[in-house]
Structure 1
């Protein structure tokens, strides 16, 4: 049985939590210098992007402020143009785009009983 929308929302929250844990207390310079951490975080971002891509449109319409297409596009970059991923772009995505996504998913899970 394929994952449900709630499963995908939980995957997004779980990946965000892992990223937050990895970056807790870290500066941009520490992040940029640690190749293994960047690769691991990029993998979690891939999970977030793929789970977002597979969410039903009805869920995405509830959050028009989230750049869903941008997430899907970034996932494609991570998968297919991984050699051109820059640390500052990843850092910016984490600090600019993940907080509103996390808030939306938490609200959605709370109202759906997930």
Structure 2
């Protein structure tokens, strides 16, 4: 494997690791927290939103061919949610953020784990 190819593989792994770490951190932060507690806690909401922004940004740097192996994940929406959180910050609905975490993180986490496992050594 050439040096540029090794670097590209390393960058893929780092981005995927970043995404997985953010998901784990958000899940830990929300453990035992109700939707209403989340909605009423500005610090927690801000932390979760920032974690989602990081997931979004990292997803933009993963090779599209790697993402294409998991068409069940709406990658365009994963990438776009960061823009929504940054640019429409005054319209972010905590209930919508909660739904994203609760409904979408499971399949996303599984896809990231599979992508990491498929990376060549």
Q: Same fold (TM over 0.5)?
A: yes
Q: Which residue number corresponds to residue 70 of structure 1? A: 77
The one of 98, 107, 120 equivalent to 1:100 is 107
Cα distance in 1 between the residues matched to 2:34 and 2:110: 23
Deviating beyond 3 angstroms after TM superposition, the runs of 4 or more aligned structure 1 residues are none
Once superposed, what is the RMSD of the aligned Cα atoms? 1.7
C-alpha displacement of 1:86: 0.5
Cα distance in 2 between the residues matched to 1:38 and 1:79: 13
Say which is worse superposed, 39-48 or 66-75, in terms of deviation: 66-75
TM-score (norm 1): 0.93
C-alpha displacement of 1:47: 0.3
Cα distance in 1 between the residues matched to 2:83 and 2:16: 19
Number of residues of Structure 1 aligned to a counterpart in Structure 2: 114
Note the 1:6-85 alignment, pairs <5 A: 6-85=13-92
Q: Which residue number corresponds to residue 3 of structure 2? A: none
TM-score (norm 2): 0.88
Confirm or deny that 1:91 pairs with 2:98: yes
Greater Rg over alpha carbons, structure: 2
